[in-house]
């Protein structure tokens, strides 16, 4: 596609429910990242994928959070038993390779609200 696509753009859920957030990276981009942006906070790193593997999961806040990537393309971030503190904008980004000078292309994010 032309850019990184995330869905849904907005998600309202009840505390304790599970949610799935989807990211479609730019075609051919091997690296994929998930970040979380909370009000008044910076971008908090969650997880990084190179291809289908995730060499760095160090940012996942708890075992309620998991992510997978299939076919070296689409990624899904799953949050189980959502809590109010999970409310944030979840951003996905992709880049062409693992080089540290490579710029990230961001999606518009999913605004998650946990009531």
Residues of this chain that bind another protein (CB under 8 A)? 3-4, 31, 33, 35, 40-43, 45, 48, 50, 55-56, 91, 93, 95, 98-109
> C-beta of 104: minimal distance to another protein in Å?
6
User: What is the closest distance, in whole angstroms, from the C-beta atom of residue 74 to another protein in the complex?
Assistant: 18
Hey, what are 33's tokens? 């990242």
CB 66 to another protein: min, Å: 19
CB nearer to another protein: give 82 or 110. 110
Q: Smallest distance, Å, CB 84 to another protein?
A: 21
Which CB sits closer to another protein, 82 or 95?
95
Residue 96 · residue 28 · CB < 8 Å: yes
């Amino acid at each position: 596609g032309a850019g990184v696509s995330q869905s849904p753009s907005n998600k309202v859920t009840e505390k304790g429910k599970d949610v799935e957030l989807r990211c479609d990276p730019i075609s051919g981009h091997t690296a994929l990242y998930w970040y979380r942006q909370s009000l008044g906070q910076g971008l908090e790193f969650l997880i990084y994928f190179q291809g289908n593997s995730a060499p760095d999961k160090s940012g996942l806040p708890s075992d309620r959070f998991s992510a997978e990537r299939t076919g070296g393309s689409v990624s899904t971030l799953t949050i189980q038993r959502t809590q109010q503190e999970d409310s944030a904008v979840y951003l996905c980004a992709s880049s062409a390779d693992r080089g540290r000078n490579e710029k990230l292309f961001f999606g518009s994010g999913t605004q998650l609200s946990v009531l």
